[in-house]
Every structure is written in structure tokens, then in C-alpha cells.
Structure 1
Amino acid sequence: MELSQDIAKYIKSTKYEDLPQDVVSYTKLCILDYFGSAFAGSAKPPVKMIDELVREMGGESQATLITGGETSVANAALVNGAASHIVELDDIHKASIIHAATVVIPAALAIAEWKELSGKDLITAVVVGYEVSYRVGEAVSPSHYYYWHNTATCGTFGSASAVAKLLDLGEEEIIHTLGSAGTQAAGLWEFIEDGAMTKQLHPGKAAMNGVISALLAQKGFTGARKILDGDRGFFKAMSDEFQVEKITKGLGEQFKIIENSYKIHASCRHTHHAMDLMIDYKKESQISSEEIDRITVKTYQVAINITDNDDPNTEYASKFSLQYCTALALINGQGGLDQFNDQALWNDEIRSLMKRVDVQVDPEIDRLYPDKWGAVVEIQLKSGETITKQTDYPKGDPENPVTAVELLDKFMKLSHKLPEDDRELFADKVMALESLENVKDLMKATKTTHVS
């Protein structure tokens, strides 16, 4: 059987009744977590620009925009995907290095609302979308990740799979959906060199392209049958090393969505291990930055590739600076959304300590990546004392989990511009999603709760 056919068979055969209760509960938390990030990001300048473009382009009123109003399902996926990624608090999967929520959920929501499908339909599609995107990501990582943003590339397969499930496509149509999705899969890391806004385009386009791919397949539009494993397919073109068996091993028997990690710091996930350690040390010692001679952060190579920036000059760039995030976490004792701002960026104490933070690769930690996103932090005091702190799992990993209560609190904080009653009602709707007969009823609530 062809690889795409294996995936298509899985997508077609998966039913809500097949999902264990813990998977259903976890999926609802993923959806709630998505909305928190989307509400928080909806008024950010890059998202406003994408939203403005979409409104200029026009579109049938098929699906709700997180920014207010309605547009076509493809345009809604674009805007709602971009909005949920920009505050850097969306979920992450370690082994595949993918933020699935920001790609899969906006695509699935748009179609489910348009077709007036049920909450159970949406949950099933999200589970399927996460599963496929994570498996593709695992197959090509970590080599793919050097040039390619996995959320944009591998995530496209996830959004396409979720939409194909909601449209109830046949196996042949799903194969063609995957083919069209794979040929559109793109997203280069070069934006990080100058802090360009392109990163927000990545999840938006991945969500949009998944929608387009499935809708075209429904009309008979064909895509490459061997888009993943063909001689000119995704694997060979975009990865130095790939493991095809990662796609099918345990497919249909496991639910990778429960391997998902949640973010509590509003920065690149590759900075979170050091931030956790600094925050813990701050609580233990109440150390003054003036007492510190040097901080050394030892971690895996990918973290250095993405976050080695000892002089960030924008708020967004600071989120991708391991040196800055380490200093910020120690001085402020927290790393939430309200901690990243222009005032903190140019704070003399933070910038002074940042210059005393060295980052380097630890061979053993690097060997264990991406199964473990670990770090060792050595804090050398001017007194001559050296304190060593270590973690294998940043807060929010399944091995170091956050609770449902903590995620609800995170949602309430991220959507703080909305009236408290509206926030509570919306969260209740999401957490009872399996009883919802029409997703349109959920999206109606965003029309009165969106942040503009």
C-alpha cells in the first residue's frame, strides 16, 4: 500500500467513538489554548495587515474571523492561523517540532462552521490533523528544521487532513488532498535573521493551503500520489535524513495529540528550559543580578541555531534570544505575555545581565534532542560560588505538565480584554464541545468577544 493511501485510510476510518475520553478531554484543552492565543494576537500589527488584505480581497461570508466579521473559509483560516501564532504561546510537540494548533484548528473551525458540523466532528478532525502533522514532522526532523519551519511545512499536511475528514472525502480524494498540500508546503527560517513578520504568514498559509487542497480534491482535482516518499517528493527534497516508518508505526492505535506540550512563557519554546530554571532560582534565592559574574546556558544545537542572539533590538526579536530570555526570567521572575514589551527590552538591568549570559552546545543534551528539550544552567557568582541547575523537560511538557486549571487561567489572562462573563461562558462552551450540535454556535460567541 502507498504511504499516502495508508494515511488516507487512517483519516477515513477514524471516528469520534474511537477516541478515548482522555484524548477528547485533551483535545478540548488544545482548542481552548488555541483561542487564548488567537484572541491575544488578533490586534497585533502583522495580523491587522493580513486582516486588512483579506477584507480588500473580499469573500463569501462562510466563516468567522477572530478579528471580527466573516469571510471565506480559506481567508478565515489564513487570518485565524496568523493571529494564534504571534504571541508565541501556542502549543508545541517535541518530537516533530510543530505548533499544530495554529495550523490545524483554524482550518478545521472554518470548515466546521461553514458546514454546520458538530463539536464531535470538530474534535475528531483536530485529533486527525494533529496526528498526521506530528507524524510527518517526526519523519523529517531534526534535519528538516534547519531551513524549514515545521509548523508551516509539516503542518500543511495536518490542516489538509483535518479538512478532508470534515468534508468526509473518500480515500482517493484524501490522497489527492495530501498531494496538493505537500506541493504547497513551505516556510523558511530566514525571517529570523532580521525579525521579519513572515513567521505569522507561515501558519496562516499552512491552514489556508490545507483548506484549498481538500476543497479542490472534492472537485476532482488531482495531486501527487507519492507526495511524501516519491523520488521528487517531500522527504527527499526537504530533509537530509528521514524515517518513513515514523508515519505508519502505531497509526490508528496511538493518539499523538496527548504528547502535546503547552507554553507558559511568551517566547520561543527553545528558551523555556533556561527560563524555568531562572524563575525557580529566583524563588529560591532572591538573588540580585549584581551578584552574578556569569551565566552559562548549555543546551542542544537547534536551540542555539534559533535563539543565539545577544543583542535583540525589537520586542519580537527578544522572544528569540536565549540570552535575553534567561536574563528577563531571572530578574522579573516570570515570562508571561505582559513581560515582553519595549520597556523590558531596553531595561538597563536586563540588558546588562544579558551580556553576561553565554550559550553553548552540550553534546549529551544535543544527543537526546528532540525527545528531550533540556538545558544545564551554571550561575557563577562574584563570590566564587557556582550554582548548577538542570532540566530535561520545560514546564508544559507531558513529563512536566500543566493542569487543566492552569490552562483555563492562561486562557482567561490571554483574553483579558474581554468581559469576564464572556470569557467564562466561551471557555464553558469549548469544554463541553462534544455536546455542541453546531460549531456555528461556538463561533457566534467570537462575534461578541473578539478583540479589535
Structure 2
Amino acid sequence: MKTPSLQRQFAEFAANLDAQSLPDQVSWAAKRAVIDTLGVMVLGAKHQDIQTLKEVYADSKGIAYLVGGGQSDWEAAALVNGMAAHIWDYDDTSYTGISHASAVILPALLATADYLGSSSDEVLTAFVAGSEVAYTLGEVTGHGHYFRGWWATTTQGLVGATVAVSRLLTRDVDVIEAALGLACAATSGSRKAIGTSAKPYLVGDAARRAIAFARMTQAGLSGPKNALEGKGAFLDLLSENVRSVEPVGKRWRLIEPGLLQKRYPVCSAAHAALDLMVEMVEKSGVSADNVEEIVAEVPDLVATSLMFDRPVSLKEAQFCLPYALSCVLSSGGLGLADLGESEIRSEAKALLMEKVRMIAVDDLSTDEMRSRYPESARLKVTLKDGRTLSGFCPEAYGMPQRPLSDEDLVAKFASCVGIDQFTVRQLRDGDLTSIARELFKTRPV
């Protein structure tokens, strides 16, 4: 019997998935991803770029809710809310393909659920379907896809979100396969967007397009059924080395390898170095006053991602290791307060950044290290009194093998939405779509 194409396998997996078949561990991992993404989406409503975009797309006649108040049509809502989910760079990360797929998938699903009146179980099942497809595709393409310059969030994320929305609309395998093929044929996204408003906008645009593709094929129009594999298809064009991996559904990527959920609102590539710097400040007395030099040795993935040496804007600061470490030296940590224009242009931080050097080193960039510790960091700190301190952090707290505790995840969510009465149990057992709708109606303070 001929093995179905990868595109067909993805479609069959999504069509046949139901809430009752989900292992409890997978269901909770998906809920954690939804909770985290929902929180940073609500926080994103405070950003001026989101308020600007809402002025363009708000439509009182629309049926889908906009984060922070207002309504629009469901494609526009996915665009605005998807941009909000990524605007602070505080959303989760999968390392199968180095992507922020949750920020694409969830906004598309919530907007679709507003249109259909879908239940929380239906949304969660579709979220799992889209996530597993996106992360399995990430394993197939490998990290070479990212290193070639493709932005996996919009390539793999668009495919996953299209599968998720299609699953919410139908369980017809042929329809899901056609929509998935359309996403594969249309996908694109370059890492050149990093450091500009285009980066979060393209996340929202991928969520919007996912809905459009699912609606098109649901209406009966055709989509390609050979757009993933073969000459001129997705994998041929966008991947340097296609890998053979366990089929989707045989292993749940939401729990193996799992997701990073962030403690800091900056690129995940900075997090291990941040954790190490915080520890040195707290335990070794390192401070802005006594540091002579900091050398950060990092893998090539970290050096590639943290591309700005001296940021001149908020979006550049989120991808700058010297700036991140200067924040820890200044205040002991890094939070949203450090992402204001006055802080980024601070003379004190500029002087501290001059003391930081980042170097990509071979021993942290081997295939084994990429697989186990893709965003590790080694710091060597020279103090003004001549002492040298050093340390190594293989993975930050929040990484898949060091996940945020449920309590810390809920605390982050509460901080993002500005409401502190949520408990782990309330969110574990609650109707997340209803919670989302209530939170979206609330205008940010």
C-alpha cells in the first residue's frame, strides 16, 4: 500500500483528531500555550502600533473581537490580534523549526471561533492539530531553514494555522488537504523583518491569510495537493536538508520537545545569558559600577538572532544582547519598563553596552549542542578590581527541559492581563474562549 504524501498525512491527522483522544499531558501543554499566548496578546493591546492598526481595521459591524476592545471582521481581527501576540516578543517558541507558531495559530482560531460560536474544546483540538503540523514540519525542515534566512514563524506558522482553522471549519480530509496545499504554495517570510514593525505585522498577516485559505477551500474552490513535496514544492524551495522524522501524531511535539515560555519580553536567544547575568548580580555582587568587561560566548543561532549591537529603537533593543545585559546591570532584571524609548537611548545604558562583546563559538554550535541547548550562553565578566567571574547556562528557565511552573505561568498571564485573581485550577478547567472574549472586551489601562 502506497504511503500517503506528507500533505495528506497532515490533513488526515487534523481531520481525525478529537478532544477525547488527546492525552491529558498534551491537552494541558496546549492549554499552557493558549494561556501564555492569550496573556501576551492582551498585553500587546497597550502597544501604540496595535492601537494604530485598530484604527485602520475596527468595524462595529464585525462579529470578531479585537484585543483591547472593539470588533471587526474575522480576518481583520486575526491580523490585529496576531500582531498583538508578537508585538512585545514575549510569546512562546518551538525549537523544532525555531518558530512562534502559537502567535499565528491562536489569533486565527479565536477570530474563527467568534464567527462560528465554537466551544473551548473545539478550539483547543484545532490548536493541537495546527501546532503539531507546524512543529512536525519544523522537524522535517530542520534549523537550516531558519539559517538560510526564512522566518519559520510565517512559513511553518502559516501552514499550521491554516490546518487549525480548516479543522475548526470541517473534518473533510480533502478540504483540509487543499487548504494546507494553498498555504504551502503561498508561504513566505524573511528574517529581514526583524527589528521593524513588519515582524509582528507579518505574524498577524499569516493568521489572516490562514483564515482566507481555509474559507476559500471550504467554499469549494480547489487547492494544490502536491505543494509540500516534490520539485518546486515547499520543501524543495525552502529547505536545505529535508529530514525523515516520526509521523505527526506518533509523537506529540507540544510535549516532546515542548515549548519555551518566556520570562523576558525579548528574543529567546538572549534568555540564557539573561538568567546567568541575573544570577551573577544576585550572588556575586556584579553591578554596573564594578564591571570592566563582559564577554558573551554563544552558539551561532544566538549570534544570528541577536543581530543588533547598538539599538536605536524598541524593536532593535529586543534583539540586542548588550542592551539586555545592560538592563540587568542597571536594575537587576529586564521587563517592559526597560523597553521605553528613554531607556533605550539612555546614556548610562550606552556606556554599559560598550563593555559587552558577543562572540559565536564553535563548541556551542555543534549539531549536538544545537539539538540539546540551541540558545545557551557562557559569560566571562572582568571586574574593575581585576577579578574574573565566569559561568555557563545551557538553557534558560522556561525552556522545554526547564519549563515555567504552572504557578509562574499563571503569574505571567495575570501580570500581562492586569488581573490577579486567576489560579492554575481556574485556567486549567475554565472555558478559555470565554475568558478570551471577556479579556478582549476590556480596554488596556
Q: The TM-score by the shorter chain falls in which range?
A: over 0.9
Per-residue CA deviations over 1:111-145 (Å, capped at 9, x if unaligned) read: 12221121111111111111111111222232221
Q: Does 1:252 align with 2:249?
A: yes
CA displacement at 1:46 relative to structure 2: 2.0
* Paired residue secondary structure (2:156): helix
2:190 match: 188
What code does the residue aligned with 1:117 have? Answer: S
Alignment map for 1:391-410 (pairs within 5 Å)? 391-410=393-412
* Paired residue secondary structure (2:265): coil
Per-residue CA deviations over 1:274-304 (Å, capped at 9, x if unaligned) read: 1110001111022232322211111111221
1:355 match: 354
2:429 match: 432
1:270 match: 269
* Equivalent-residue separation in structure 1 for 2:440 and 2:377 (angstroms): 43
1:380 match: 382
CA displacement at 1:104 relative to structure 2: 0.7
1:75 match: 76
Q: Does 1:156 align with 2:158?
A: yes
- Asked whether the equivalents of residues 101 and 156 of structure 2 are also in contact (C-alpha less than 8 Å), the reply is no
- Asked whether the equivalents of residues 169 and 218 of structure 1 are also in contact (C-alpha less than 8 Å), the reply is no
* Equivalent-residue separation in structure 1 for 2:227 and 2:401 (angstroms): 34
Match of 1:34 among 24, 32, 37: 37
- CA 1:397–1:404 in 2, change beyond 3 Å: closer, same or farther? same
Q: TM-score, normalised by structure 1?
A: 0.91
1:411 match: 413
* Equivalent-residue separation in structure 1 for 2:440 and 2:50 (angstroms): 17
* Equivalent-residue separation in structure 1 for 2:233 and 2:423 (angstroms): 42
1:127 match: 128
- CA 1:443–1:276 in 2, change beyond 3 Å: closer, same or farther? closer
* Equivalent-residue separation in structure 1 for 2:437 and 2:416 (angstroms): 19
- CA 1:242–1:96 in 2, change beyond 3 Å: closer, same or farther? same
CA displacement at 1:167 relative to structure 2: 1.1
CA displacement at 1:425 relative to structure 2: 6.1
2:113 match: 112
Q: TM-score, normalised by structure 2?
A: 0.92
Match of 2:443 among 438, 442, 450: 450
Alignment map for 1:17-56 (pairs within 5 Å)? 17-55=20-58
Per-residue CA deviations over 1:66-93 (Å, capped at 9, x if unaligned) read: 1322222211111110011011110111
- Asked whether the equivalents of residues 83 and 200 of structure 2 are also in contact (C-alpha less than 8 Å), the reply is yes
* Equivalent-residue separation in structure 2 for 1:208 and 1:52 (angstroms): 17
* Equivalent-residue separation in structure 2 for 1:110 and 1:430 (angstroms): 20
2:169 match: 167
Alignment map for 1:180-219 (pairs within 5 Å)? 180-192=182-194, 195-219=195-219
CA displacement at 1:448 relative to structure 2: 3.7
Per-residue CA deviations over 1:399-445 (Å, capped at 9, x if unaligned) read: 112111111111121122xxx4xx63698764324xx4x94x44441
- Asked whether the equivalents of residues 275 and 330 of structure 1 are also in contact (C-alpha less than 8 Å), the reply is no
- Asked whether the equivalents of residues 65 and 441 of structure 2 are also in contact (C-alpha less than 8 Å), the reply is no
Q: Which runs of 5+ in 2 are unaligned?
A: none
What code does the residue aligned with 1:236 have? Answer: D
- How many residues align? The count is 436
- CA 1:48–1:141 in 2, change beyond 3 Å: closer, same or farther? farther
2:332 match: 333
- Asked whether the equivalents of residues 8 and 174 of structure 1 are also in contact (C-alpha less than 8 Å), the reply is yes
What code does the residue aligned with 2:43 have? Answer: A
- Asked whether the equivalents of residues 12 and 173 of structure 2 are also in contact (C-alpha less than 8 Å), the reply is yes
1:303 match: 302
* Equivalent-residue separation in structure 2 for 1:388 and 1:144 (angstroms): 33
* Equivalent-residue separation in structure 1 for 2:205 and 2:331 (angstroms): 36
Aligned CA RMSD, in angstroms, stands at 2.0
Q: Which runs of 5+ in 1 are unaligned?
A: none
* Paired residue secondary structure (1:98): coil
* Paired residue secondary structure (1:376): strand
CA displacement at 1:343 relative to structure 2: 3.0
Q: Does 1:232 align with 2:232?
A: yes
- Asked whether the equivalents of residues 33 and 90 of structure 1 are also in contact (C-alpha less than 8 Å), the reply is yes
What code does the residue aligned with 1:289 have? Answer: A
CA displacement at 1:183 relative to structure 2: 2.3
* Paired residue secondary structure (1:257): coil
* Equivalent-residue separation in structure 1 for 2:53 and 2:371 (angstroms): 33
What code does the residue aligned with 2:192 have? Answer: E
Per-residue CA deviations over 1:134-172 (Å, capped at 9, x if unaligned) read: 111222232221322111111001111111111123111
What code does the residue aligned with 1:96 have? Answer: G
CA displacement at 1:265 relative to structure 2: 0.6
Alignment map for 1:142-153 (pairs within 5 Å)? 142-146=143-147, 147-153=149-155
